[in-house]
Every structure is written in structure tokens, then in C-alpha cells.
Amino acid sequence: MNSVHERTRAIREAATQLGFDHCAAAPVAALDAAPRLREWLALGMHGSMQWMERSADRRAHPGLVVPEARSVLIVTRSYWTGEDATTDPSRGRISRYAWGGEYHDVLGAALGDLYQRTQEIAPGVVGRFYIDTGPVLEKAWAELAGLGWIGKHSNLITAGVGSWFFLGAIVLDCELAYGDPVADQCGSCTACIDVCPTEAIVAPYVVDARLCISYLTIENRGPIPRELRAGVGNRIFGCDECQDVCPWNRFAQVGAAASAFSARKGLRAPDLVDLLSLDEDGFSTLFRGSPVKRARYQGFLRNVAVALGNSDHPRAVAALTSRLQHESALVRGHCAWALGRFDDADARAALSDRLPCESDAWVREEIEAALAPALR
């Protein structure tokens, strides 16, 4: 197809056929987001995500990913299913995007098919495609393509749609017809900033990952800072608070291909005590083909222990006590903290019994801190 507009129209039609909700393109150009990314990195707000530093240049310059890159094609796919999240503190909350299958697999296959169709539509085109795992600033390119604006919570918002969707990107070395950016429509609203349990949105449009529950429960491999644990609540994988309160999400509708992300049995509102009892094989079985596996077994138990400490689960003390013997210091330490949250003689006895035989210095510190209120 010789016409840029015909080529773009054909690609958009292919995207729709493959289950994507929206498709638009942006020209490769200097991004306003690039210097902001570098400033964010310089402030250390990426925490332990060192891969973001290593890929900073490629994120800012698609030509380092695809030589002679000229366009970035962005597609969206909704994961809103209309199902309600749990409000029961004895049950774990998992971010909506992780209720169903592994989105990298589902979207990656469809995006690969779209790239193949693009090569058929524009013979000789060269590109690369990514589902949030590559060196591409998907949200910034989507904003430039006119698919929406980046809200104060740092997620992309589309008017009349909201923000419950995934983004995919294809960097191409051909021209396409480009969309026009839309105006920021957050206005004076600060709902997302006000609701953040750990005050991670440190300024409009700026999220400090080190304070963000999604980072703390997924990317973070070490202890969750003690002062942030109460704010985690019963969230055991990610956090949707800023999107739950966003006024634009009242327009959310179930996507045409959202069934792949419907809640699997046991993932929408799992019992916290049952989760803490999982061994590694049980964890792998329950979360096979799920994004939750990204937290890894020990990190997941850490999250569940914190959630139990924030719960009123009638079996929490017994469950946490049993895990004071776990081989992982990370798990033992968070179970100790959680037991300290209960005004309970059995919890205090379990901590006192464990302290003399605990060999890990950090876990001993957690036990002593958990017992301190009882000692005063």
C-alpha cells in the first residue's frame, strides 16, 4: 500500500480483528517524558529496578531499538471485567490485571500477530514489539498518539474509557498517519493523590516507586519498610486504589476481548490463611500462568503475612505462628511483625518462644519490635 493513510487504516483494522480496543501511531520525536524520566531516576524513585537505568537511553530514543525508527504504533486492550474487588479484610486483594491469565502471553501473541500483519500490509517494514517489558515509554507514546493523557497517578487515561487497559507498542521504520495529542483533563481533581494508602504520589504526575504498594509487593525483593506495612492493608499483589477512585473510570466498560482477564477461581478474593499455608509447589500450581508469580514464592508469603497483620482474621495468629519456623528470614520477619499487631497472649508467647532460637539479626529485630508494646 503506497498511501500512508491506507496503510494506517489497514493496520488499525487488523488491530481490531485481533482484539485490541484502540490503535494509534506517533512519530518518532523527542519526548517531553524523557528528561522527566532521567530526573526521576536521578532521585532514586525507581528503587531497586536497576533495569530502568540501564535502558534509559533506549527508552528515550527508539532509533536505538530499531534503526531508522520512524513511528511508534500503540494499541490498547481493556482488562476491565465488571467484577467487584473484595472489601473483606480477611481476604487478599490482587490487582485486577492479575485476576486472569498472564497478560504478557495473551497480548504478546496478539501483538506478534499484528506485527506480522503489518509486515504484510507494508512489505519490507522492520520493527520490534513490546508489552511493557521492553525499552519503550508506552504511556508517553500513547499520549503523543492521541490515545489519552497521563493522569496525576501516572497512568494513561482515555476520555469516555478510563484507564483499565494494557498498552502494547510496535516500533517501526515506516511512516504512518499520526494522531493528535489531547489535552490533560484531570483538572483540579486530586482523588488519586488523596487516596494513596502510602502517599506514593509525591506530586501530581510523580509516583515514588519506593512508596508504591505495587512496587513493594511485586518488584521489591527485600523487606517492606515497617512504616509502610499498615498502609498495605490486605493488598497482596499490586494496588488499584488510584484507579478505583478516578472519576474517568466510571465510564469503564467490559472490553470486547476482556474474557481472558476474568477472575480465575481463587484469585479474586483468596483467603489469607489458606495462602500463607501454601508450600512452593502449591504456590506454583495456584498461580500457574498468572502474573502473580512475578512476586516469587517468598515475596508472596511476605505480602500475605503483612496482610494478615492488617486483618481481623480469626485464624491469623495460629497461621502466622506456624510460619515463624519458615526457612526464609524474609517470611519469618514479616510474620513476627504481623503477630505484634495482635493484642493476643498466644501471639506474644509465640514471639517470646522464637526469640532465643532465632539466628537472623534482622528477624530478631522484628521480633523485639513486635514484643516492645507488650514490654512497655
Q: Is the distance from CB of 269 to CB of 307 less than 8 angstroms?
A: no
Rounded to 5°, the CA angle 342-336-99 comes to 85
Distance CA 93, CA 303 (A): 11
Q: Of residues 100 and 201, which shows the higher confidence score?
A: 201
- 305-362 pLDDT tens trace: 999 999 989 999 999 999 999 999 999 999 999 999 999 999 999 999 999 999 999 9
Q: What is the DSSP letter of 31?
A: -
pLDDT higher than 60, residue 50:
yes
Residue 375, pLDDT score: 46
Residue 376, pLDDT score: 35
Lowest model confidence (mean pLDDT) among 125-134, 257-266, 337-346, 365-374: 257-266
CB proximity list for 352: less than 8 A, separation 6 or greater: 371
Lowest model confidence (mean pLDDT) among 53-57, 179-183, 249-253, 329-333: 53-57
Of the pLDDT bands very low, low, confident and very high (cuts 50, 70, 90), residue 44 is very high
Residue 57, pLDDT score: 86
Catalytic residues: 132
pLDDT higher than 70, residue 47:
yes
Residues found in the chain: 376
- 186-200 pLDDT tens trace: 999 999 999 999 999
For the record, the C-alpha cell of 111 comes out as 501483538
Residue 84, pLDDT score: 87
Arithmetic mean of pLDDT over the chain: 94
Domains defined along the chain, listed by start: 4-172 (no CATH), 191-242+264-371 (1.25.10)
